[in-house]
């Protein structure tokens, strides 16, 4: 396990916000995670950082990062299940499934999220959600430092929500995915289409953390913001994308406060015009 002091977080969050942390732990396994949790029960989990808004420029509170570590992916020899550590990126999980001709997670290819983050927020796209393939999840409770497992029906999955979202003192360690077999070419073609479509519709050329707001019942956020003339709205270096107004992008050294100010203005205008209280998908720390 690596322990780094005065750690630069710029490359470890999707918005590329500049911030530093007094001490960061990069665990390699569950034993490392237990050791850190025992020493620092107030640890901040950054995960892969692709669903995070950093609201501070310096963090005294220690962090634990899963990004390029704690990322093993394997196939259960007794069945078709994938066993995935929380730090594995969904792109890598999708590629591993492809190599084994396993279908069901093609839509998660090119989603900038870790396995753990995908479980916590019940990530999804094109009408599919991670809950559709989860069998069970192994997790650490930071309060009693015990490891537990929950089956999918015990995780309380909802739209962009889960037991883990509501109970952040529980850290996802590992997930078991139940995937059907498929034809390699069909799986690869779907993954290629997913990536091509996203690059056509989303502002991938700028740092962002993807879709900012949860979709209100029966409505879509992008068209609402377009109608309010918010496409291209900017505060400091943070701007609502002109390509897809559901995204906030970092166009010029945006700070966390820039991004939060844009979010606040969007929420105010939507509330004033539609009477809707928008909720954000991203986590502010």
pLDDT tens-digit map of 19-51: 999 999 999 999 999 999 999 999 999 888 889
Q: Out of 3.30.413.10, 3.40.50.300, 3.30.465.10, 3.30.590.10, which CATH number does the structure's domain 73-199 have? A: 3.30.465.10
Instruction: Give the catalytic positions in this structure.
Output: 160, 211, 281
Fold of 221-284: 3.90.78
pLDDT tens digits for range 213-236: 999 988 999 999 999 999 999 999
- The two beta strands, 238-240 and 234-235, are antiparallel
pLDDT at 166 over 90: yes
Q: Out of 3.20.20.70, 2.40.50.180, 3.30.43.10, 1.10.3720.10, which CATH number does the structure's domain 2-65 have? A: 3.30.43.10
Question: How many residues appear in the chain?
Answer: 285
Cα gap 171→47, rounded to integer Å: 10
Torsion of CA 185, 88, 47, 152, to 10 degrees: 80
Report the pLDDT value the prediction gives residue 89, as an integer from 0 to 100.
94
The percent of residues in the chain predicted with pLDDT above 90, rounded, is: 90
pLDDT at 113 over 80: yes
- Ramachandran area for residue 122 (φ above 0: left; ψ -120 to 50: alpha; else beta): left
Report the pLDDT value the prediction gives residue 80, as an integer from 0 to 100.
66
Domain segments of the chain as ranges: 2-65, 73-199, 221-284
Cα gap 190→105, rounded to integer Å: 10
pLDDT tens digits for range 179-224: 999 999 999 999 999 999 999 999 999 999 999 999 998 899 999 9
Cα gap 271→102, rounded to integer Å: 43
Q: Which residue has the tokens 């599919």?
A: 128
Report the pLDDT value the prediction gives residue 125, as an integer from 0 to 100.
86
Structure tokens at 134: 């989860």
The mean pLDDT of the chain is: 95
pTM of the model: 0.91
A 10 A CB-CB count for 60 gives 8
Nearest residue to 99 (alpha-carbon basis) of 5, 210, 1, 179 = 179
* pLDDT band, very low/low/confident/very high, at 74 (cuts 50, 70, 90): very high
């Amino acid at each position: 396990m690596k322990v780094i002091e005065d750690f630069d977080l710029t490359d470890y969050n999707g918005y590329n916000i500049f911030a530093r942390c007094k001490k960061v732990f990069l665990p390699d396994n569950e034993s490392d995670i237990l050791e850190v949790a025992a020493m620092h029960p107030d640890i901040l989990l950054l995960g892969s950082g692709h669903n995070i808004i950093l609201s501070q420029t310096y963090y005294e509170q220690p962090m634990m990062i899963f990004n390029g570590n704690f990322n093993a992916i394997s196939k259960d020899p007794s069945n078709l299940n994938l066993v995935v550590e929380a730090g594995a990126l969904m792109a890598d999980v999708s590629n591993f499934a492809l190599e084994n001709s396993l279908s069901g997670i093609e839509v998660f290819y090119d989603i900038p999220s870790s396995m753990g983050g995908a479980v916590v927020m019940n990530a999804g796209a094109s009408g599919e959600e991670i809950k559709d393939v989860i069998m069970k999840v192994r997790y650490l409770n930071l309060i009693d430092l015990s490891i537990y497992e929950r089956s999918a029906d015990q995780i309380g999955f909802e739209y962009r929500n889960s037991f883990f979202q509501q109970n952040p003192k529980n850290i996802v360690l590992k997930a078991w995915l139940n995937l059907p077999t498929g034809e390699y070419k069909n799986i690869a073609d779907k993954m290629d289409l997913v990536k091509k479509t996203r690059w056509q519709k989303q502002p991938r050329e700028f740092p962002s953390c993807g879709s900012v707001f949860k979709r209100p019942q029966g409505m879509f956020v992008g068209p609402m913001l377009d109608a309010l003339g918010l496409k291209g709205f900017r505060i400091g270096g943070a701007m609502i994308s002109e390509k897809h107004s559901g995204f906030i992008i970092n166009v010029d050294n945006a700070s966390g406060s820039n991004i939060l100010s844009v979010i606040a203005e969007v929420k105010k205008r939507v509330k004033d015009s539609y009477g809707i209280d928008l909720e954000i998908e991203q986590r502010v720390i």
